[in-house]
Structures are given as structure tokens and as C-alpha cells.
A and B are shown apart, each in its own frame.
Chain A
Amino acid sequence: MIRRIKKYLIFALRTFISTQYMSQKVLLTAKEVQIILQRLACQLVENHSDFSNTVLIGIQPRGIFLLNRLQEILEKEYQINDLKTGQLDITFYRDDFRRSDKPLEANKTKIDFVVEDKRVVFIDDVLYTGRSIRAALTAIQSFGRPKEIELLSFIDRRFSRHLPIQPDYNGRQVDAINEEKVKVNWKENEGEDIVYLISK
């Protein structure tokens, strides 16, 4: 009995806190995420054909989940098996070093090839201010001079840009104000594919 009351009180408290301070709205369901992934993969194939001179670079940390999902579709449905992929961490290239309240934590960079004269596609889950992509543009130069660089983003917060950067492949455009946050959950990491708009 006491346990049930305790459980109810915790539930009531959580509901109260979330309604008072935070609310989250589902922007995309698992089915919609899957449809968008299929479309993005299809658009990549349309532009890059057999990917013989193309490399896909996931931006750490959360672009990697998207990269893996796209790679899975490209391999299974388009039989592109020798796809070159890499992981790029931009921590040391960010423009808010010593300006951010939180210390910047680096992630692993794994690019086992030179990108000289290659067609590079950056892959990230949310395009917000454009500063991460600006850093990635600098970071990739350490691995050579690419022929061209494209950007694929799953969510484009289109009215929040600080820099003149636009995606070439776009999952869904979202109009969110600065106080809101867009969170993309992947089933490999969070257990389900779902996109939330979180308001504080």
C-alpha cells in the first residue's frame, strides 16, 4: 500500500514538474524517421551513384548514429558495400573554447583515408547555428583537400543560423525558437527512433 502511494506521489511530482518547467512534443515518430532515412539514402544515391569517389563523414557525437543508419540502408537496399565512412570530432576546432561555461569534451576521430580530391558528405543529426559545421569544414582539411563538401542534416532548425551554412540534404525543417531544443533519439542509443521538440 505504502509502495503504491509512494509510486503515485513520484508520478504526480514528475508530471507537475514537467508541466511547470518543461514540455516535450513529438516531432517525428519512428515510422516518419524511417521514411525520411529512406528518402535521404535515395537522394545520396541519386547524386553519388556508386560512391566510388565519395566518403561519408559523421560528425561526432550524434552524427554517427545517423551515418550508421544511412550506411545500413545503402548497403542493404542499394548494394553499396565498399562505402568509405569516417568519424570526425570537431572539439579542437570549435570557436567557443574558453568561452563556454561547460568544459569541451573531445570524442574519437576515425578517418583511415585521405580525403584529397574526394567528394565528402558531412552527416549530422541537427543543424542549428552552423558553428559545428564551420568547425568541421576546418577540421576536415587536416585530412587533405576535398573536391567538394556537402552537408546532410536530419533536422534543419532553419531560422537559428549564425553563419551562412545550408544543408544539401535535409530530413525535416523545424521552426523552433532558441529556448527550445530538438532532440533526435535513435533506437541504437535511446531505444526508439523519435524526434522531440523540448520547451523549457
Chain B
Amino acid sequence: MSELSVNHLLGIKYLQKSDIDLIFNTADHFKEVINRPIKKVPSLRDITIANLFFENSTRTRLSFELAEKRLSADTINFSAASSSVKKGETLIDTVNNILSMKVDMVVMRHPNPGAGIFLSKHVKASIVNAGDGAHEHPTQALLDSYSIRERLGEVAGKNVVIVGDILHSRVALSNIFALKLQGANVKVCGPKTLIPKYIDSLDVEVETNLIKALEWCDVANMLRVQNERMDISYFPSTREYTQQFGLNKKILNSLNKEIIVMHPGPINRGVEITSDVADSDQAIILDQVQNGVAIRMAAIYLLASKIKQ
């Protein structure tokens, strides 16, 4: 197959395994492109992409913008903090105004779950979800799986544990969908208060003992505790969280095998992982960031190829 089955990238839930394979194979080519002396291809020179960020972002916004520029697309950037959204404009109005300036694709991050899906039903543009509340963050999950594939050869059959704040994490949900779709075994690990009630419906095992989870896994994806999404206290103190669910070099060295450590960033050094773990050879955090550009180039390129002239 050489075409995506979807017209928007709203979540991993809506993708098929063949879509993920296609994105990965295309990303392989773009990874080669971004390592050339001139890191740019002219494919999307007649495409305009609007990056709408209604929520803070550094890594994802820069990664998307770089991917778009590497593909020669024209880009416009928008952040809610300095826009008419503050004056009471609705989401559809904001986006339709931007689209009337002949924009072909919208990359959107929004604090409300399902914002991308809602938008895809009301506007004529290809929508890429760059994170919608605690729902999905498809490109992050794709780059995580791509990084596992790059390091371990394949994702199928690998044991992956996602550690930390599962309840508030869009990265966790998208990763669970992506990993399961590719045939990996997934466990989640964290304080019971930060494990969502619906976890059983995702066919994912829960482990509350970090050491046991790490002994089982090939890959540990350490998530950040999302204090900004917590309206109540989910654990007694950060210190206690770190003692029970923080990964340090001593734990990593005590394991009977060498596991891979991932983190979607931003890292709270000393909370979910210590600096010596984050900077170790077993951590592929910076590989994830580099792969993010290639994956986003692939996703945008494949979606754009479905926008016919």
C-alpha cells in the first residue's frame, strides 16, 4: 500500500497497521534527507500549513515547523495567547478565517479532547492532531514506536512498559494504541490514582511495582507527571513519587538485562528519571526528538499527497 487510509491524522485509533508501516517506510527516506548537506525537498512547495497551538508547546511545535519547512511548505503560526480567541472567537470561526486565506492543512494542539475530530467534521482542510487534551498525540506515539523499531529492529513482540502519569497522558493512550496495533506487549506502571479506570478496556496490564515492571520490559517509556492537569492531589508528595516510580542509575544497573529508556519530554530531572539515566547510552531521548522530524515529515507528506489539486 502506498497511500494512507485516512485524510486526517487525528489519532492512532483511526489508523491501520498498514498506515503505520507506510509512515515508517516514508520516514526512513526522510531521515536520510535530513542528514544530507542540504536538508530540504521541494515536494510541498504549493501547500500552506497553519500551526494552531491553543496550548503551550516547544518541542512539538518546533518539530512540526521544521518538518514543514524541510518539505518546502509555507507555514503560518498561531498561538492562542496572542490571538482573538481571547476576545471570545469560537474554534470553527478562528480556523475558518485562517482557511479563507487558502490554507491546505492545519496542525492543531488544543486543551480539549476531541478538538481535532470536531474540527475535521466542520472545515475543509487536512487536520493533524498535535495533542488534544489527555486524549491522543499520534505523532509522538509514531516517533516512539519508530525509535523502538530503529533500536531493536522491530516493535512486534517487544515488552514495553509505560511508567508514570497514565491518567493525564495523551502520549500514553496513543502509545498503547500504536504498540498494540504493531503487536507489542504493553504494561502500564504508576500510582493507582494515576491509572485510568478504563485501562482494562485497552487490554493492558497494570503493574504497581516499578522494579517488577522493569524486569519484564525491553523498553521503559517514562512519562512526566503533569501537574498542570491535576486539579486534586494524586500522590502525597513528589519525593514519595520519585522513591516509588522514579528511575535512577542504581535501579537500571541492578536489572538482569539492558533496557531502553524513553521519555517524551520535557523531562523533570530528578523526578521521573535522574540525570545520569537521561544522559546514559540506554536513553534514546534525543533520538526520539530527531526521529520526530522525520516522522512528521512523513505524516505531512502522505496526508498532503491526498489533497488533490
Residues of A at the B interface (CB closer than 8 Å) are 89, 91-93, 97-99, 102-109, 114, 138-139, 141-144
B residues less than 8 Å from A102 (CB atoms): 2
A-facing residues in B1-51 (Cβ within 8 Å): 2-3, 25-26, 29, 32-33, 36-44, 46
Which size class do B's interface residues fall under? 20 to 34
Q: Which of B132-140, B184-192, B301-309 interfaces with chain A?
A: B301-309
| B-side contacts of A107, CB under 8 Å | 29
Asked whether, in the complex, the Cβ of B305 is within 8 Å of the Cβ of A109, the reply is: no
Are A144 and B309 within 8 A (Cβ)?
no
Report the separation of the CA atoms of residues A97 and B305 in the bound assembly, to the nearest whole angstrom. Answer: 7
Please determine whether A98 and B305 come into contact, CB atoms closer than 8 angstroms.
Answer: yes
Partner of A93 from the list B25, B32, B36, B41 (CB cut-off 8 Å) is B41
Q: How far is the CA of A92 from the CA of B43 in the complex (A)?
A: 5
A106 and B26 form a contact (CB under 8 A): yes
Asked whether, in the complex, the Cβ of B305 is within 8 Å of the Cβ of A103, the reply is: yes
- Chain B, Cβ-Cβ closest to A139: B41
Is B304 within 8 A of A98, CB to CB? yes
The distance in angstroms between the C-alpha atoms of A103 and B18, with both chains bound, is 15
A135→B44 CA distance, assembly (Å): 14
Most buried by A among B2, B26, B29, B309: B29
Contact B305 A142 (CB under 8 A): no
Complex Cα spacing A57 to B43, Å = 21
CA distance A158 to B167 in the complex (A): 65
Pull 14 A–B residue pairs with CB atoms less than 8 Å apart, ordered by A.
A92-B33, A92-B41, A93-B41, A98-B46, A103-B3, A103-B305, A104-B2, A108-B32, A109-B29, A109-B33, A141-B38, A142-B39, A142-B40, A142-B41
How far, in angstroms, from A92 to B301 measured CA to CA in the complex? 9
* Alpha-carbon gap, A198 to B36, bound state (A): 39
Docked Cα-Cα span, A102 to B46, in Å, equals 19
Query: CA separation between A104 and B2, bound complex, in Å?
Result: 7
Could you tell me the distance in whole angstroms from the C-beta of B6 to the nearest C-beta in chain A? 14
- Chain B residues near A98 (CB, 8 Å)? 46, 304-305, 307-309
Q: In the bound complex, what is the Cα–Cα distance between A142 and B36 (angstroms)?
A: 7
B37 contacts which of A89, A109, A138, A143 (Cβ < 8 Å)?
A143
CA distance A104 to B26 in the complex (A): 11
